Amino acid sequence: MTLAELLPSTGCSTEPVLEDGLWPDGTRIAGQDLVIGGVPATQLAARFGTPCQVLDERTVRTRARAFRAALPGVEVVFAGKSLPCPEVYRWMAQEGLSLDVSSAGELALARAAGFPAARIVMHGNVKTAEDLKAALEHGVSRIVVDSFDEIAQLGALATRGQEVMVRVTPGVDAHTHAKIATGVEDQKFGFSLASGAALEAILRVAEQPSLTLVGLHCHIGSQVKHVASYEEAVRRMAGLIASCGTRIEQLDLGGGFCAPYLKGDTDFDLAGFAHRVQGALNYECALHRVPLPRLLVEPGRAIVANAGVTLYRVCAVKESTRTFVAVDGGMSDNPRPALYGVKYAVRLVGRGGKAKPVTVVGRHCEAGDVLAEDVLLPGDVHAGDLLAVPATGAYHHALASNYNQVCRPPVIAVSDGVARPIVRRETEEDLLRRYV
């Protein structure tokens, strides 16, 4: 059973039908308008301008609850990097999730949200001295160490039994894009299991009197579709637990659960994951005769991706060997197509018409600033039209930049017909403040 099947039905049956699973829960078409969280997209664009990132609060909360319901007894840790925003962190705290951060900046957002330090985990392949000091000063519950240098540095900075987890590279291929595959050898994350570095890291943590080893951590990649990849990670991590000679109380399997971006994409099999992974962990621990550790998972994209929709205004249409539809945003608010070839669906809001394939491009001075290729839009698409792109809740706000000194868009939360900014639009005054 997929995550979408575990979620409550919205009971919405409107025509024309939106692509199944891509849009926030309850999104519908009224006339030719697109209604998100009870608010028409045309109203959102008129009130907040474009580009505009819209986030449906109910969808975020519902998906967070689905993880907790499917995994009772498992600590569900929201991957804060997927959508770093104090208001979103508050929603996660209210839904009973923990939070992971990977920098002093993300921790500052968590502090602004009032997120309980006892439910914050810090990790990342590089944590500067400032990151570590911020984590220690705030009293985050666990720090995931990622290098021998970091173990020594943290050991010197900590003054009490700071709880740590060791990040392990388990050598599991998650069959995802190379740039988001993090569980295989020969990349920057974690201590290699195959080389013996992971076992050595465990021993070095034990040598630090100011550190307390409480668990192991791994993350096999992003947009992972196959539960079998997590089962293999469990088998390898259980073997390490058996060989390390010390009690491992927690096992964090990371996140990376896939989300649908295009029509026909499958949602993640959350029920299957819950059954098979916990079964594999029980079996392996019994086989190796080691105590069963508490399981942690770190969903991010699976909670927020399909809660988000980005609105753009068409600025120009060019006819060449293909039709280019240029919008007022681009790779500064969505670099993911340029980074790893992610494909998106696009819908014209406000009217219909006979469709033809077009390429939607951004406003930036790069030939690679392409948002979506070969998408079907009305053949008479023109400047002033409003476009909506679903599945933009994860890593869009997080990865946004000021390329060409373009100001970053706002994030607008919608819920039950009410829209409110949770991140305001950046201004030119904001840009100028940094220049000396």
Among residues 255, 243, 212, which one has the least CA distance to residue 97?
A: 255
244: annotated active-site residue: no
* Alpha-helical runs (H) found in 52-196: 57-70, 86-94, 104-112, 129-138, 148-157
Structural contact between residues 109 and 80, judged by C-beta atoms closer than 8 angstroms: yes
Instruction: Specify the length of the chain in residues.
Output: 436
Residue 184 CB-density burial (10 A; 0-12 exposed, 13-18 middle, 19+ buried): middle
Q: Which two tokens stand for residue 4?
A: 């979408």
In the block, residue with structure tokens 């990649």? 221
Q: Which helix (H) or strand (E) holds 164?
A: strand 162-169
Residue 310 CB-density burial (10 A; 0-12 exposed, 13-18 middle, 19+ buried): buried
My answer on whether omega of the bond before 337 falls inside 30° of 0, hence cis, is no
Q: Which two tokens stand for residue 180?
A: 């988001």
Structural contact between residues 345 and 262, judged by C-beta atoms closer than 8 angstroms: yes
Angle at 95 between CA 122 and CA 395, to 5 degrees: 55
Q: Which residue out of 52, 258, 315, 365 is catalytically annotated?
A: 365
Catalytic residues: 365
